[in-house]
Amino acid sequence: MSEMSDVVPDATVPASPGSRRHAAVLGSPIAHSLSPALHLAAYASLGLDWTYTAIEVDEQGLPGFLAGLDDTWAGLSLTMPLKECVIELLAVVDDEAMRLRSVNTVLPDPTGWRGTNTDVYGITEAVTRAGLQGVPRTATVLGSGATARSAVAALARLGAGSVVVCARRPEAATEVAELGQELGLSCRVQSLDPDPEAAAAEVVISTLPGEAGADWQGVGAQATGVLLDASYHPWPTPLASTWGGSGIASGRDMLLWQAVEQVRLMTGREPAVAAMSAALPT
């Protein structure tokens, strides 16, 4: 397996209306996934008779699943727990996905399969479209898991200044902060205790499970910036329901935009975002 710098996969997938291809989202559990609704709406908007299904696959089953794919497959979306363990199974992984240890998109490549990450794009678009104005000088990330790593990468793309990583596990938070520093951010770590200064950042990205952010309701009510709460079920989360800032995006917005980028990469064409958004259940 090798790395590639700033890879943008070539749009080599045939995308004529009569060319039937297959794609899927893999994970465990997977029955709850909204990805099929998004991708099928995109294919319909493009006049493509493609399939996209949700398939239950765990870490043990992933090698065999990949080995059984043929050239009718246009790509895969990956969710937990596969985003990291897939890396060793791929021929090529782009630099950002490797640095984040998170591949959520697998694409055909002349050498085998290529891994990339569209979660970072999804976060960037969700935050920007929620009302972020210009380059954020301050940002806060709540949590320290895989989504938090993608969040600091998105903040680096946005040109953020100082970033505070708030988490219960100091060692995990330090790892996220060190990643941010590698990406050119000024990062520091603090506990997950509610902090008015951290909540007052121009961008706050919560990667916590919905109820886990409830303690931040009080300080969030005094916020003035943009919130992306990566949780989306149930919605609104306690934090989102009392957010006093200038804009709010949910995990559905992040999911939508990462899927838009996946469709572009798999088809080589521009899907109808409005049709994809309308396909999400309310």
Q: Which residues of 73-103 are buried (b: 16+ CB within 10 A; e: fewer)?
A: bbbbbbbeebbbbbbebbebbbebbbbbebb
The dihedral sign for the CA sequence 224, 228, 234, 238: negative
Sorted by sequence, the CB contacts under 8 Å of residue 36 that are 6+ apart come out as: 25, 52, 53, 54
pLDDT at 247 over 80: yes
CATH superfamily, domain at 132-245: NAD(P)-binding Rossmann-like Domain (3.40.50.720)
> For the ranges 18-22, 171-175, 197-201, 203-207, which has the lowest average pLDDT?
18-22
pLDDT for residue 229: 97
pLDDT for residue 19: 66
13/157 Cα distance (integer angstroms): 28
pTM (predicted TM-score): 0.91
pLDDT for residue 9: 35
Q: Judge whether 89 and 66 are in contact, CB under 8 Å.
A: yes
pLDDT at 12 over 50: no
pLDDT at 8 over 80: no
CATH number of 2-118+255-278: 3.40.50.10860
Q: How many CA atoms lie within 13 A of 161 on its CB side?
A: 7
Residues of the chain with CATH 3.40.50.720: 132-245
pLDDT at 5 over 60: no
Our answer to whether residue 7 is catalytic in this structure is no
Residue position matching structure tokens 């301050």? 138
pLDDT at 234 over 90: no
Question: What average pLDDT does the structure give for the chain?
Answer: 92
- Tens of pLDDT along 67-97? 999 999 999 999 999 999 999 999 999 999 9
Catalytic residue among 21, 39, 83, 114: 83
Residues of the chain with CATH 3.40.50.10860: 2-118+255-278
- Tens of pLDDT along 107-128? 999 999 999 999 999 999 999 9
